């Protein structure tokens, strides 16, 4: 055999031995990474969320309707006797007290008529006394004595009538109020019981002032006498009062019921006839005041918020919006005290473990 053939065979045998030594030779130890099980992997960290504590408060659900101010009482001041106006003691627009004299009617012949009536009373009294003595002794019939008594009583009636007529020459205010109008001048002749001729002026009682509003048939059953309400006047002033009347008969045209709010007005600063927004209480609901950004939607589309329990587990809680105010919402349906997620609620789910963080300055201020 040629030497070249022998060399080729030797090389082939050597290559085969080298390849086989790699398949059946020393096995290296398994990698330590392969020995690590899934249970040895580090746990996922809990998501941090910002929270704040909230305690429920009573929220008064209110109804706002348009109304107007009116006087507590309004009376036309009229004369009760005839005569000439001799004196006017007050001015139009002045506040007068109960019993204060507004004007006087001239006495004319009234003093003389009074003196005559007094004299007649004395005369008939003497006649009756004498008649009574004679009747007791049997010298005068009882019928004649009865006539003497009747004449005495008529004299007393005449005296009382003239005294009353004199008293009525002083035109007095029937109650404390504003003399809104005065329709007489010095020298005017007024006549009792003849329409405008007996009207001296008008007096309005403005303390308290009444704010009248109309409430729909849906809300009237939630308003009661004694409720404390408010009125926002067209001037911007807000006053407080008490519901004194709730109507029981609806207006046929509007199907609304009248409600009267009684407001103190000692200084008479509130006039009659002002437009006002009447704010009446309907219900008191236990609610939390939250930021609108804290709201979330449940899997079924329910509106609610996400809370953190004592175990730091997220819990979705449905809410009902009670009122929408500038800067916040009043919501009901939550426990008395809650830990509310304010930031991060969009990134956590119901039942997830979280790390609550109450960050300084992140709390939501309640509406005044």
| DSSP letter string, 175-196 | SSEEEEEE---TT-EE-TTSGG
Q: Tell me the mean pLDDT in the region 184-203.
A: 80
Residues 6+ apart with CB under 8 A from 106: 83, 84, 85, 86, 169
Task: Work out the end-to-end distance of the chain between its first and last CA atoms, rounded to an integer number of angstroms.
Answer: 114
Q: DSSP labels for 256-320?
A: EEEEEEEE--TT--S-TT-EEEEEEEEEEEEEEEE-GGGEEE-TTS-EEEEEE-TTSBEEEEE-E
CATH of span 48-59+286-357? 2.40.420.20
Q: How far apart are CA 245 and CA 242, in angstroms?
A: 9
pLDDT greater than 60 at residue 14: no
In whole angstroms, what separates CA 231 from the centre of its chain? 7
Q: Is the pLDDT of residue 101 over 60?
A: yes
Q: Is 60 exceeded by the pLDDT of residue 24?
A: no
- The stretch 323-348 carries a mean pLDDT of 90
Q: Quick one: pLDDT at residue 104?
A: 94
Task: Report d(CA 69, CA 354) in Å as an integer.
Answer: 57
- Check residue 8 and give its pLDDT: 52
Does the structure show a pLDDT above 50 at 253?
yes
pLDDT at 157 exceeding the cut of 90: yes
Out of 10-19, 112-121, 339-348, pick the least confident: 10-19
pLDDT band at 197, cuts 50/70/90?
low
Residue 162: the pLDDT is 94
**Residue ranges of the domains in the chain?**
48-59+286-357, 64-71+206-283, 107-168
208: preceding bond cis by omega (within 30 degrees): yes
On whether the 64-71+206-283 domain is CATH 2.40.30.170, my answer is yes
Residue 318 pLDDT exceeds 90: yes
Residue 238 in contact with residue 275, Cβ under 8 Å? no
| pLDDT attached to residue 47 | 87
Is 70 exceeded by the pLDDT of residue 4? no
Q: Which whole number is the average pLDDT over 192-219? A: 85
- Mean of the pLDDT values across residues 150-175? 92
Calculate the CA dihedral of residues 87, 90, 91, 94 and round it to 10 degrees: -170
């Amino acid at each position: 055999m040629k030497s070249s053939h022998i060399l080729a065979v030797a090389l082939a045998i050597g290559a085969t031995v080298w390849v086989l030594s790699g398949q059946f030779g020393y096995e290296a130890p398994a990698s330590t990474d392969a020995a690590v099980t899934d249970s040895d992997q580090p746990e996922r960290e809990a998501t941090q969320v910002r929270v704040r504590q909230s305690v429920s408060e009573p929220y008064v659900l209110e109804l706002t309707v348009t109304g107007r101010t009116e006087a507590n009482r309004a009376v036309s001041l009229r004369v009760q006797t005839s005569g000439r106006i001799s004196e006017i003691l007050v001015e139009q627009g002045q506040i007068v007290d109960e019993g204060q004299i507004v004007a006087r009617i001239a006495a004319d012949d009234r003093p003389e008529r009074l003196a005559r009536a007094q004299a007649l009373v004395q005369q008939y009294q003497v006649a009756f006394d004498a008649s009574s003595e004679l009747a007791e002794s049997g010298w005068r019939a009882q019928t004649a004595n009865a006539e003497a008594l009747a004449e005495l009583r008529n004299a007393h009636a005449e005296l009382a009538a003239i005294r009353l007529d004199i008293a009525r020459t002083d035109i007095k205010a029937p109650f404390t109020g504003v003399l809104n109008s005065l329709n007489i001048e010095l020298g005017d002749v007024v006549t009792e019981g003849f329409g405008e001729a007996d009207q001296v002026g008008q007096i309005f009682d403005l303390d308290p002032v009444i704010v009248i509003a109309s409430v729909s048939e849906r809300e009237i059953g939630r308003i009661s006498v004694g409720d404390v309400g408010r009125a926002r006047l067209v001037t911007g002033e807000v006053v407080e009062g008490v519901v004194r009347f709730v109507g029981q008969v609806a207006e046929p045209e509007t199907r609304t019921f009248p409600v009267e709010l009684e407001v103190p007005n000692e200084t008479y600063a509130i006039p009659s006839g002002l437009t006002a927004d009447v704010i009446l209480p309907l219900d008191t609901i236990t609610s939390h005041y939250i930021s609108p950004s804290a709201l979330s939607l449940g899997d079924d589309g329910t509106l609610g918020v996400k809370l953190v329990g004592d175990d730091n587990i997220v819990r979705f809680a449905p809410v009902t919006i009670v009122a929408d105010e500038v800067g916040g919402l009043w919501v009901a349906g939550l426990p008395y005290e809650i830990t509310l997620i304010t930031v991060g609620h969009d990134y956590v789910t119901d039942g997830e473990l979280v790390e609550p963080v109450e960050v300084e300055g992140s709390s939501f201020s309640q509406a005044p």
